[in-house]
Amino acid sequence: MADAPTIAGKGASFDVTAFFRRYAALTALIVLLAFDFAVTPNFASWQTLNVNLTQVATIVIVSVGMTLVIATGGIDLSVGSLMAIAGALAPLIFLSPFGRAHPGLGDALAFIIPVAAAGLLGMFNGWFITRFQVQPIVGTLVMFIAGRGIGQVLTNGNLQVFKNPTFQFIGLGRILGVPFQVIIMLALVAAAAWTFRRTLFGRQILAVGGNERAARLAGVPVNQVKRWVYAISGLCAGIAGLVVVSINSSSDANLVGLGMELDAIAAVAVGGTPFTGGQASVVGSLIGALLIQLVRYTLLANGVPDAAALVVKGLIIAGAVWSQQRGKFT
């Protein structure tokens, strides 16, 4: 809950153990960084930073939307499938005869249409959940199952290989040496953190998650708020899908975003946003994702097999959530 103190922390006396429990993920991240600087070979390099940030960017982008959804007390299992749809659509557009005839317009549409489509499907999730009063986990399970199928049907399951520097700037480009997707990631995190802190929408999200019935009776447009968070989650997934296919120079609807829903949820959970809703920390989700990524990197860089890193990842997720809960109860 990195951005919590300005909201709730005033007047509370400073307690060291409470601080470390509360910021378990951040503390772990700092300890791990210290370890890496001391032990891991070639850690203190620009390249290492870029590799890690690049790998974590898509997860963070998806986690931003996921944080909003979880703050309303919901969950979005469909993000991976929406990534696959966006990833499938983009090459279809700029490789189409129209896209080839008008490269500028084609590339622009290859950004806009897939992201908009993912946003609309996200909006559909929200509509389905609110209209039929379905549990979010079931409501988005529909899109999880059907969405990847849609992506596969669009491409007939084929791998689309391409080379389109303009379009691929989103995944391969750099501004002042910083990978473009990292800039997108930071911009989205900042925007979402600002939304929670300063805007009506942010407070309405927290009110809906904190007590939905009370929020409705206080005039909060509950259903509308929910539809928007799922739509935003869809938009984030769409952007992440484009980043992934750009990096790969290819789009495979069978694989793009596979398992992303769980990675993003894990990042949000490690970051300290509770599943019950009503509280949120976007910066926490960023830290959570960074922590998970850095643990994996550290293990691989020190010769531990990837499979073992999976086990450690599992332990980290359980450990982080456990320590936050202890922090809350004491």
Partner 1 sequence: MTAPLLGMRDIDKRFQGVKALSSASLEVAAGEIMALVGQNGAGKSTLIKVLTGAYRRDGGSIAFGGEPIDFASPHEAQRGGISTIYQEINLVPFRSVAENIFLGREHRRYGLLDWRRMNHQAAELLRRFAVELDVRRPLMGFSTAIQQMVAIARAVSFKARLVIMDEPTSSLDEREVAVLFDVMRQLRAEGVAVIFITHRLDELYQVCDRVTVMRDGRTVMTSLMAEVDKLHLIAAMLGRDLETVRAHATGFSATSAKAGEEVLSAEGLRIGRKVRDARVEVRTGQIVGLAGLLGSGRTEVARAVFGADPPDAGTIRLTGKEVTPREPADAIALGVGYCSEDRKADGIVPDMSVRENLTLGILPRLTQMGVVDEARQRAIVDRFMARLAIKAASVEQKIRELSGGNQQKVLLARWLCTDPKLLILDEPTRGIDVGAKAEIQSLIRELADQGLGVLMISSELEEIVEGADRVFVLSDGRTVADLPHTAASAPAIMAAMAHEDPAATGTANG
Partner 2 sequence: MSAGTATPAAPSRQSSLAWAGQQRVLIALVLLILFGALRYDHFLGAYNVLSVLRYNSMFALTSLGMCFVIMTAGIDLSVGTTAACASVVSAVLSPVGLFPGLLGGLATGVAVGAINGFMVTRMKIQPFIATLSGMLMASGSGLLLAHNQSVSVSYETNFTWLGQGDLLGFPTPAWIAGLAYVYGSILLNFSSFGRYVLAIGGNEEAARLMGLPVDRVKFWTYVQSGVFASLAGVILAAQFGAGQPAEGVGWELFSIAAVVVGGTLLTGGVGSVATTLIGVLLLGLIFNVLNFENGLGWISLSAYWQSVVRGVFLMVVVMAGSGAARRAIRAA
- The reply to whether 280 sits near partner 2 by the rule CB under 8 A is no
Q: Nearest-CA neighbor of 160 among 240, 238, 241? A: 241
Nearest approach, Cβ of 111 to partner 1 (angstroms)? 24
Write each residue from 76 to 115 as x if it is in contact with partner 2 (CB under 8 A), else as -, in one continuous string.
-x--------------------------------------
200 binds partner 1 (CB under 8 A): yes
Cα 149 from Cα 146, distance rounded (Å): 5
The three-point CA angle 144-277-327 to 5° equals 120
69, two tokens: 């959804």
Element (H, E) at 175: strand 174-175
Burial 189-211, CB ≥16 within 10 A → b, else e: beebbebbeeeebbbbbbbbbbe
Does the footprint of partner 2 cover residue 255 (CB under 8 A)? no
x-marked contacts with partner 2 along 130-159 as a string, rule CB under 8 A: --xxxx-xxx-xxxxxxxxxx-xx--xx--
Residue 210, contacted partner among partner 2, partner 1, none, CB below 5-8 A by kind: partner 1
Residue from the set 10, 46, 101, 306 that interacts with partner 2 by CB under 8 A: 306
Q: Cα separation of 153 and 13, whole Å? A: 58
64: which 2 tokens? 């931003």
Does residue 159 contact residue 252 with C-beta atoms inside 8 Å?
A: yes
Piece of 53-61, 149-157, 174-182, 207-215 that binds partner 1 (CB under 8 A): 207-215
Candidates 58-66, 166-174, 186-194, 309-317; binding stretch for partner 2 (CB under 8 A): 309-317
Q: Single out the residue of 237, 261, 233, 232 nearest to residue 83, CA to CA.
A: 237
Q: Which class for 132: exposed (0-12), middle (13-18), buried (19 or more C-beta within 10 A)? A: exposed
In the complex, least distance from residue 17 CB atom to partner 1, rounded to whole angstroms: 15
Binding-site partner at residue 313 among partner 1, partner 2, none, CB < 5 to 8 Å by type:
partner 2
- Under the criterion CB under 8 A, does residue 218 sit at the interface with partner 1? yes
Q: With CB under 8 A as the contact rule, which of the stretches 45-53, 119-127, 192-200, 256-264 interacts with partner 1?
A: 192-200
Q: CA separation (Å) from 219 to 73, 199, 202, 204?
A: 18, 16, 15, 10
What is the nearest approach in angstroms of partner 2 to the Cβ of residue 219? 24
Calculate Rg over the CA atoms of the chain.
20
Query: Under the rule (CB under 8 A), what is the footprint of partner 2?
Result: 75, 77, 128, 132-135, 137-139, 141-150, 152-153, 156-157, 258-259, 262, 265-266, 269, 275, 305-315, 317-318, 321-322, 325
Query: Under the rule (CB under 8 A), what is the footprint of partner 1?
Result: 7-11, 198-201, 203-204, 206-207, 210-211, 213-221, 278-279
